[in-house]
Structure 1
Amino acid sequence: MDSSYNLYTNWEAYRLSDMLNVPMVRYGKSINNKYQNEYERYLHEYPKSIVSIYISKLNIENCTEEGTELKLLDKVIENQEFKIDIGDEIYIHLRLGDVVLADNDVRFKRKLSPREICINGLLLKYGINEMYYFYPWSHYFEKLKKLVKNGAPKIIKIVGGCHRKNKGIEESMEILKLYKIQLEKYGFKVEFKIGGNPDEDFILLSKAKYFIEGGGGYGKLIKNYRIFKKLDLE
Structure 2
Amino acid sequence: MSYAFDPSPLVSLPITNQAHRFPVHRVYCVGRNYAEHAKEMGFTGREPPFFFLKPADALVVVPTDQTGTMPYPPLTQDLHHEVELVVAIGQGGRDIPVDQALSHVYGYAVGLDMTRRDLQAEMKKQGRPWCIGKAFDHSAPIGPIVQASQLAGITQAEIKLEVNGITRQHSQINKLIWNIPETIAHLSRAWTLMPGDLIFTGTPEGVGAVVPGDEMTAHITGLPSLRIAIAA
- TM bin (shorter chain): under 0.3
Q: Which has the higher helix share?
A: 1
The higher-RCO structure (CA 8 Å, 6+ apart) is 2
Q: Which has the higher strand share?
A: 2
Give the TM-score of the pair, scaled to structure 2.
0.28
Which protein is bigger by CA-based radius of gyration?
A: 1
